Amino acid sequence: MRKTVGLLLVVFLVLHFNHHVVLRSDCFTLDAVPSNEQPYRTAFHFQPPRNWMNDPNGPMYYNGVYHLFYQHNPFGPLFSNQIYWAHSVSHDLINWTPLDLAIAPTEPFDINSCWSGSATILPGNKPVILYTGIDSENRQVQNLAIPKNSSDPYLREWVKYTGNPIINLPEGIKNDDFRDPTTAWLADDGKWRIIVGSQKDKTGIAFLYQSIDFVNWSRYDSPLHQVAGTGIWECPDFFPVWVDSTKGADTSVMNTRVKHVLKVGLWDYSVDYYMIGNYSPAKENYIPQNELTLSTLRYDYGKYYASKSFFDPVKKRRILMAWVNESDSEADDIAKGWSGLHSFPRSLWLDQNQKQLVQWPIEEIEMLHENKVSFQNKKFEGGSLHEVQGITAFQTDVTISFKLTSLEEAEELDQSWSDPQLICSGMDASKKGKLGPFGLLALASNDLSELTAIFFRIFQKEGQYVVLMCSDQSRSSTRIGLDKTTYGAFVDINPQHDEISLRTLIDHSIIESFGGGGKTCITARVYPSLAIEKEARLFAFNNGTESVVISELSAWSVKKARINIEETISCTDH
């Protein structure tokens, strides 16, 4: 059935794209921004050569090449009402080469912007893109594009379907409340499915659509899921995860060995939340095991939004990326000439307890490792501070694991302390406790007037131990006018049996931290004025009164990747 559907689909698409609307690609080069004039531009995180960037769009692997599209204003460093799809390619997910713009607002169905969407590889190895267009009447509608030449592994030119939009605004939905189609999945009945984010009367909605030919779509009677009071759902993602493996599953996998993740971005809060549950395509029924609330599961408890995942068939894994916006002002963005980063790619899988996801930097980062330093079994008395030397502290990958020897000394967690972020804000790294704070001081200046503290505290609550993880930006810069929010979250580990581990990627103005082996992730943007380049330092510390043992610390300098440094790719290089 699937082979028949695939053949019919390819024929249908060819017939219906015979009159092209083409955005040309001329294989050009631009001047790269000198890194020595831009201390906050990163060394190994994805960002554009210049100007505004937000959501990752349509990531995929096709004919030996990884593709990443992203929301982009090519004319300036601020958000615009004319957003394009920019396009970069990679062979290793580390080094990225920019291509010409892939999709531009040129037609009545997208004239006011080409917003976020997804890529799907159809049977016969045919890539297609679904994206939201803001049409001439400022309505959000869903559109289709295919490569002009699918034999080009770089997919440099894209053709818009002349019958766009393929999905119109549903009746009763406001013009600007219907966006961001997901990667499609194919069920055993031969029908493709996608969801599109929406809302009605503050009820967040994941509308479900079905299609045989990928062009004619019908809305299912009931949404895949909806939750009252959550506002607009945008940038949804829906994919399977194995219950018994850390490998990734293709989006169309449906069997008893998988659960399904529904991720939604809540625009009102700029936060990505996710649910884990059971999906039945026969009943079009999704039952989450954790309902969506503002205290439910998040990919990341810091600055991390509009995330997008894709299945990597090369290494059989699911990879996740997200937009990490700026924490400085628009005036700063104009002065820099750019705005926005993407998180470092993460592998994602279901934890053994099947209650949450685990995320970890992709293994390719090891290509950039150099100058390793390490030590083991170092006892840290209360008040200890140890500088990690021999690495480039401005761009580094560091892992540290702690053993606790006196858990009975853990303080009682006040019953009124339910919000971990508020606890971290009220009990920053300078506040002594018993078991904690202990962790890392990143991007620290020589006099410690600037530092970002990533640390843990251990509490007792109702006979159980509670692990709190914090990322404290309150002293991250001596500059004023910055967002220096402190972030926090609990980590689902038992310190009686598990070491408390932390991995942190530090890259000029972004700090990504992974606690408990990737169970809790916190991303921060910081802009030190003293702790930059060679003046940046890295410390391990324990500011609790009880001693802890560093069972192991390993750190590497991270070499600079080639990210969107323009170079000419031959237009005949297929």
Q: Pairing relation of β-strands 51-62 and 338-339?
A: parallel
- DSSP letter for each residue of 35-84: GGG-TTS-SSS---SSEEEEEEEEEEEETTEEEEEEEEETT-SS--SS-E
Known catalytic membership, residue 312: no
Q: Which residue has the tokens 């299609």?
A: 211
Hey, is 396 helix, strand or coil?
Answer: strand
- Give the single-character DSSP code of 333: H
Question: Is residue 54 a contact partner of residue 79, using CB atoms and an 8 Å limit?
Answer: yes
Task: Name residue 351's amino acid.
Answer: D
Cβ neighbours around 403 below 10 Å, total: 15
Q: What is the DSSP letter of 561?
A: P
Strands (E), 256-394: 258-266, 271-280, 285-288, 305-312, 317-324, 338-339, 341-342, 346-350, 357-361, 369-380, 384-387
Identified catalytic residue from 26, 31, 55, 110: 55
DSSP secondary structure letters along 506-559:
EETTEEEEEETTTTEEEEEE---SSS-GGG-EEEEEE-SSS-EEEEEEEEEEEP
105: left (phi over 0), alpha (psi -120 to 50) or beta: beta
What DSSP character marks residue 316? T
Residues serving a catalytic function are: 55
